[in-house]
Each structure stands twice: as structure tokens, then as C-alpha cells.
Structure 1
Amino acid sequence: MGLGESEPKRIPRLPRRALDPMRRSDFHYDLPPDLIAQRPLAERAGARMLMLEEPAFAPRDRMFADLPRLLRPNDLLVFNNTRVMRARLYGRKETGGQVEILVERLLEPDEALAHVRASKSPKPGSRIDLAAGIGLRVMLREGALYRLRALGATFAEIMSTQGHIPLPPYIQRPDEFADEARYQTLYARREGAVAAPTAGLHFDAAMLQRLDDLGVGRAEVTLHVGAGTFQPVRVDDLDRHEMHAEWLDVDAEACARIETARRRGGRIVAVGTTSVRSLETAAADGQLKPYRGDSRLFIRPGYRFRVVDAMVTNFHLPESTLLMLVAAFVGYQPMMNAYRHAVAERYRFFSYGDAMFLARQGRD
């Protein structure tokens, strides 16, 4: 649908009664497919940026290059330093059928949990051949995942030689050489993700230097993004949604930097929803402290944020938990109005798309 052909459907409004539960369908919006970015821009920092902040939360069109003007000395940016694995593998079953594997989590050097796509589900004990002398043994099924054992090499070696960058399902093309660098943040260093923390893709060396010169601090956390981040919410009753688990690490150094920024009057600005979930998980009992382990934190309207004051983020899929998170951050109606504005103004959506800058509703 072109911009002038017809009006997008009306965004649903917040239920009238405060006690009415929100439904998955409340987070639907219509997105023309041609607005889904299929490739990155020539320059990392060249994206547009939609800004929402108090008091009105009316959308304002900016450029990502304007970010230093929105920050001030003593603010602290919190980055997710996860690194995307070459987690997509292609092989064949012993019967000759084609198999696509997406490694979700490494358990041991030779064991991993993975999604496996094939015409027929592989049986425990069967083998998947990847290359001469290299393959995978199917150990058992654990829910939607399979436990696999590497044969002839470690998983790290297999992914290094046979793996592909796991571009998201809405990017309708095979991975290319350029994706090796562009689907990775400049500061990525702890390998373990199957998807990039995409808000961080906008930061280039020049932008980081500008922020350093301004006196904006930096801290790092780790959340290894799993394939579940792309899974739609399948139940309309949000109380019944089972959140996927992702491993994260918020260390003592990050906590100390946040405390220092707070004492100096700075804001905590999360780069991406993964940084938000990391910090809010670590403060789940009311006080921020180091945390390492899995999180199933589901942030939706009504959630009380404990750490994050502002965030940089990209645009998110309709009816997704990430759209629900950002709606909780600035309010349901302002966020859905902002998405309608972004569609009308033809922003670029999702992983290789444009950015948003959000200042939290009702922050202290």
C-alpha cells in the first residue's frame, strides 16, 4: 500500500476502564511491507530518529545524528555488549532431507540447544551432516528446541566455518558478506546472541567520540538475544503469555556506574530494549544489584520502571512483547500514535531500520 492510497486502520485506543485488561490485539498496527528495511544504510549513524518525551509525548522527527543534543553531561548510556553468533547452519539428514538449524544456546563446547527445521522432525540418535567429517547428533527434544552434539569439531569451530549470520525472518534475503559487520554493534564482545541488539547498530566511532566529549558516561551489560524475540504473542490474554528466557549478566561495575551517574544527577539511558530488560531484571526486588542468569521478565503497560529513565530503540513488530515494553515506557496511546506517525512519514522499520528516542512517562 502506498502512502497516498488509503488511510491506515485506526490504532485501537486504551480500554476505557482502568481495570480492563489489555489484549494482544490492542498492539496491532498496519505496516506496509515496503517499510521493512532489508539492508542497512550506507552510514551507521545516518538513520532518522523519532523522539517522544514529556509533557505531551507528541512525535518529533529528528535524525540519529541529533542524539548528543538530547543528552547532557553525567547521563549514562547502557549498552548490551552481546555478540551475534554465526548461528544458522544448513545440513542434511541421513535420509537426504534438508535441515536448517538455528543454534539458540551453547551448553558445552560440543553441545547446544537449537531450533531445527525439516520436512519431518529429526529423531533422537539421528545424525545431521554439515560437511565432510562434520555433523550433529540429535540427542533429545526439549520443548521447542533440540539438544544437539557436535561431531568432528566443536560448535565454535562449526559455526566459524559453516555458520551464517542469522538475519531476522522479516529480512527477505540470504545473509551477505556485509552483514558480518553491519549486523553487529561496534562494541560487541561477548558471543552468544542469535539476533543483534539493534538499537546499538546506529552507533559508529564518531558518535561514540562525540558522546565522550560531551561527558556522557558508558556502562555495559550482556543479554544474549534469543530467537524468541521474534516469536509473536500467541494468546490474546496477556496474562497467559509465556515469556521466552534469555541469559543476561549485569555486573558490579555496571551497577556502580549507574549509582555514580544517579548521584551526579544524570539519567540512565538504555540503548535498546535488551538493556532495559537487563537492568530491570537486576532491580526486580526494588534495588539494583549484580545479576547473572536467565530472565523471563515481561514488561507491559502497568509495569513500574526502577532503573531506566530514557532509551534509544528501533521500531518493533506488531503485537510483540517489545512493542508492549515501549508502550509501558511512555504510555500506550502516545506510543501507538507514534507508530501511526512513523508509518505515515515512511520511517524504516525493524532491525536495519530507523530509531526512536524515548523519555519515560512519569519518571522521578
Structure 2
Amino acid sequence: MNNEWLQWAESIRLEDYEYQLPDASIARYPLSPRDSSRLLVYRQGNLAHHHFYNLPEYLPADALLVFNDTRVIPARAYFQKLTGATIEVLLLHPEEPTRIINESMLVRHECVWECMIGNKKRWKWGETLTTTLTIAGQEVLLKASYADYEQNRVRLQWNADLTFLEVVQALGEIPLPPYLKRDTEESDKQTYQTVYARQEGAVAAPTAGLHFTEKVFEQLDAKGIRRSFLTLHVGAGTFQPIKAGTVVEHHMHAEQVVYTRELIEQLLQRTSTIVAVGTTSLRSLESLYWYGVKLLRRETTDFWIEKLYPYPFAPADLPSAQEALGAILDYMDEKKLTQLVGETEIFIFPGYNFQLCRGLITNYHQPGSTLILLVAAFVGDDWKKIYREAFDKGYRFLSYGDSSLLWREGH
């Protein structure tokens, strides 16, 4: 890595990306209807206030909106020991028999997942936890044991010919973000999902998409605005605070992402006006570009984007978006692929050069978080102006809060 750049990156001070977030500004529940939330539009330093149902008016007709269609699973489960102790198991990522999340949902009888384990000191190696579930009128015995104690890998076994998705739907609850500081309620099963969620496997919702309704989609269609979908299964790492001594030392959890050939073809047609719906879509799109770079440089055909991979490159040394996407389509043609499955831990913070995304729809994020750094990379120091204005106008913050439409400089 370029030493000069690394010295600059290590000088980024986290305190410059902190702000005071009063508890009263955190939205504990969503508004109804979804599209009645407020929308702050930022373009070339100017701010305007609207409602989300006005969104189509502030998008050019040639825009391509890219959505993350992941669906949150009831990933938090509780097991009761005979001693009375409660063990909490939060599913993070499948390990066996497959690491591909969409496939793992269809596994039958047994699987292994990496988990976060609450009250772990009360669950020892060699102990098996059990619970009985009723699924479609059938009693099912579910067993949980350690496959790897140190790595928090849990083996789950059930005595019925059911998919893991059927089991987990009966077992768990939707894991709300910890900053909401409340228990999950029945209504969250619907409100903490986007209306277009399709691919099961996330433990957190892509919350920028929570504001969309069928009415908004109809208005987008009437204006000729295209939309496409990718899948990034959001992990619990999205809530992990930055605790490292420097920003670049922060550990980014890898997340699995799936792209279709249709998406990549649409991106090639609209490279000047791609709008990411949410930070997960933005990170996925930018990661796709860097995969194209890897293919062009003949570094690897494995889709794995390390957190700092983009930073050493000088802009003049990089291919265009069309060249990078074209290389990916050529590779897919050669391998007869209709979709790509990869993993990314890309870390976007000030100093990042955006390659695909011109606009971003996003909520208001926690102070000192990786997502604030991403917003600051996207709009520069004006992120402070945007957040100050949102506070002054009484916007609602975090997952169930209000929205913004941000345009990069020059757009």
C-alpha cells in the first residue's frame, strides 16, 4: 500500500465524525404509511425538505435505482437450560454444508452456523441444548451443540424433513438493532422488512428501503425510472462501533453479495446515473467495480474484496466503469454464469474515489460509525451541514427514522 496514502488515512480522527444524538431523536417505531417519512434532498451544497412520497420528482428520468432485496430472518433464538439459564443464539453466517446463504436456507436435518452467543459462560463445550417446536402441526425436536467452541460455530440438528428456513421461522425472532432499546414486537415482522424483500438471510434490514411503497414504485414507473436488484445479506457487523486506535484498523465483517447478469447489463446502460438505495447497495456496487479491476489485472477470479483494496490506486491507473463491468460480463460468458456470488468487506471512508454510484438514498446513522464515514466520503464535510439541518428540522434518526437523497459533487 502507498505509504503516503496510509499515513494520511491513519491521521483520520474518529472524533471528527462524532455528533450528539439525543435519545429523543431516535425513531423507536416507523411511520405509517412508510412513504410519509421526511426526505432531505442534498445537491451541490443545497438542501431542500420534502416527504419520501415526493422522491420521484427529484430523480432524473434516466436514473437506475439499485435495491438490496435481502430479507431479514428471525435470526435470534433462545434456549432454556434445565438449570434455568437462558442462552441466546444469534445466527450470523452459515458454515456447513454450504456458506452460500440462499442455499443454506434450503438445507435439511443439520447445519452449522457462526453465531453470537449470549450468556456463553453458562453453555459449556459438550453440552447439547434442546427445544421443541411446532411446525405445521408437527412437533420437531431441535438440538444445538458446539461444532467449534472458540469460533462460536453452532451445530443445529432437527428430526424432521424440513428446510432450515422452516425451522428458523418457527424458532427465532427478528433481531432489532440494539440502539432501539426495546423488545421485538409482532408488528416488526412486517415493518422491519422492505416491501420488495425476497432473498432470506439477513440479520438486519437494509433500512433505506423501508420507505418505499407500491405507490412510490408506480410513480417511478410512470416517470420511466428503472430499478434493479442485488442481494447483500446484512450482518450484525453493521452495528459494530469503531473501537480501533485508527480508522483503518477497524475490523470489517465480510458480507455475502449476489449479483445477476441482468443487473450488470443494466448498470452498463446507466453508468452516469446510478442511485444506490442504501449503504449496503452502495458498498455492493462499488465492490462489483473492484471485482472487475481484479479480473482486468488478472489477479484472481475469486470474488473477494478486502476492506482497503481500492485505496492504493491512482485514479489515472484505473479502468472505466464500462471496462470493469464489461470484464465481468466476459468472465460470466466464459464460465456460463447467470449470477455472481462473492464476499466483500470494503471499507468506504473519506479519501475513497467512487466509481459507480452518483446518488445515494440513506437514513441518518449513528455517530462515529462506519456509515457516517461512508456518507462523509460521499458528500465531503457537508455531512455535518446535512445532519445539523436534520436536527434543526426535527428529523427522526436511525433505522426507523427519516430519509435523505444525496448527490455527489457535480451531479
* Shared fold, TM over 0.5: yes
Give 1:283-302 correspondences, 5 Å limit.
283-284=289-290, 285=293, 286=319, 287-288=324-325, 289=328, 291-302=340-351
- Residue 142 of structure 1, CA deviation: 5.2
Partner of 2:149: 141
- In structure 1, the gaps of 5 or more residues are 1-16
2:176 counterpart of 1:167: yes
* CA distance in structure 1 between the aligned counterparts of 2:225 and 2:269, rounded to whole angstroms: 12
- In structure 2, the gaps of 5 or more residues are 1-6, 98-106, 134-140, 294-318, 330-339
- Residue 293 of structure 1, CA deviation: 1.4
Task: Calculate the aligned-residue CA RMSD, in Å.
Answer: 2.0
* CA distance in structure 1 between the aligned counterparts of 2:127 and 2:342, rounded to whole angstroms: 31
Residue-pair matches, total: 340
* CA distance in structure 1 between the aligned counterparts of 2:250 and 2:172, rounded to whole angstroms: 32
- Residue 362 of structure 1, CA deviation: 4.6
Determine helix, strand or coil for the equivalent of 1:91: strand
Residues 139 and 149 in structure 1, CA contact (< 8 A), matched pair in contact too: no
Give 1:47-126 correspondences, 5 Å limit.
47-54=37-44, 57-93=45-81, 95-107=83-95, 108=97, 109=107, 110-111=110-111, 112-118=113-119, 120=121, 122-126=123-127
Q: Of 14, 19, 27, which residue of structure 2 is paired with 1:24? A: 14
* CA distance in structure 2 between the aligned counterparts of 1:106 and 1:152, rounded to whole angstroms: 19
Partner of 2:253: 244
Partner of 2:374: 325
Residues 31 and 343 in structure 1, CA contact (< 8 A), matched pair in contact too: no
- Residue 58 of structure 1, CA deviation: 3.6
Partner of 2:393: 345
Amino acid at match of 2:175: P
Partner of 2:228: 219
Partner of 1:207: 216
Amino acid at match of 1:326: V
Determine helix, strand or coil for the equivalent of 1:255: helix
Task: Say which is worse superposed, 351-360 or 116-125, in terms of deviation.
Answer: 116-125
Task: Say which is worse superposed, 197-206 or 122-131, in terms of deviation.
Answer: 122-131
Residues 37 and 211 in structure 2, CA contact (< 8 A), matched pair in contact too: yes
Residues 63 and 275 in structure 2, CA contact (< 8 A), matched pair in contact too: yes
Larger helix share, 1 or 2: 2
Residues 70-108 of structure 1: per-residue CA shift (max 9 Å, x gap): 112221000001011011111123543111111112344
Determine helix, strand or coil for the equivalent of 2:147: strand
- Residue 298 of structure 1, CA deviation: 0.1
Q: Of 279, 294, 304, which residue of structure 2 is paired with 1:273? A: 279
* CA distance in structure 1 between the aligned counterparts of 2:220 and 2:131, rounded to whole angstroms: 45
Amino acid at match of 2:356: V
* CA distance in structure 2 between the aligned counterparts of 1:227 and 1:121, rounded to whole angstroms: 23
Residues 249 and 292 in structure 1, CA contact (< 8 A), matched pair in contact too: yes
Determine helix, strand or coil for the equivalent of 1:220: strand
* CA distance in structure 1 between the aligned counterparts of 2:164 and 2:357, rounded to whole angstroms: 36
- Residue 121 of structure 1, CA deviation: 5.6
Residues 10 and 248 in structure 2, CA contact (< 8 A), matched pair in contact too: no
Percent identity for Structure 1 against Structure 2 = 40
Residues 172-198 of structure 1: per-residue CA shift (max 9 Å, x gap): 222222111111111111101000000
Amino acid at match of 1:45: D
Amino acid at match of 2:238: T
Residues 21-68 of structure 1: per-residue CA shift (max 9 Å, x gap): 2122221110110111111111010000112111xx243222112211
Task: Say which is worse superposed, 127-136 or 198-207, in terms of deviation.
Answer: 127-136
Residues 222 and 250 in structure 1, CA contact (< 8 A), matched pair in contact too: yes
Question: After TM superposition, where is structure 1 displaced by more than 4 Å over at least 4 residues in a row?
Answer: 17-20
Residues 214-242 of structure 1: per-residue CA shift (max 9 Å, x gap): 00001101000000000101114112112
Aligned CA distance change for structure 1 residues 170 and 30 (closer, same or farther; 3 Å): same
* CA distance in structure 2 between the aligned counterparts of 1:360 and 1:164, rounded to whole angstroms: 38
Partner of 1:155: 164
Task: Say which is worse superposed, 216-225 or 116-125, in terms of deviation.
Answer: 116-125
Residues 71 and 193 in structure 2, CA contact (< 8 A), matched pair in contact too: yes
Residues 94 and 127 in structure 1, CA contact (< 8 A), matched pair in contact too: no
Aligned CA distance change for structure 1 residues 136 and 119 (closer, same or farther; 3 Å): closer
* CA distance in structure 2 between the aligned counterparts of 1:32 and 1:52, rounded to whole angstroms: 23
Residues 204 and 234 in structure 2, CA contact (< 8 A), matched pair in contact too: yes
Partner of 1:5: none
Task: Say which is worse superposed, 73-82 or 130-139, in terms of deviation.
Answer: 130-139
2:119 counterpart of 1:131: no
Residues 87 and 123 in structure 2, CA contact (< 8 A), matched pair in contact too: no
Q: Of 214, 239, 242, which residue of structure 2 is paired with 1:230? A: 239
Aligned CA distance change for structure 1 residues 45 and 19 (closer, same or farther; 3 Å): closer
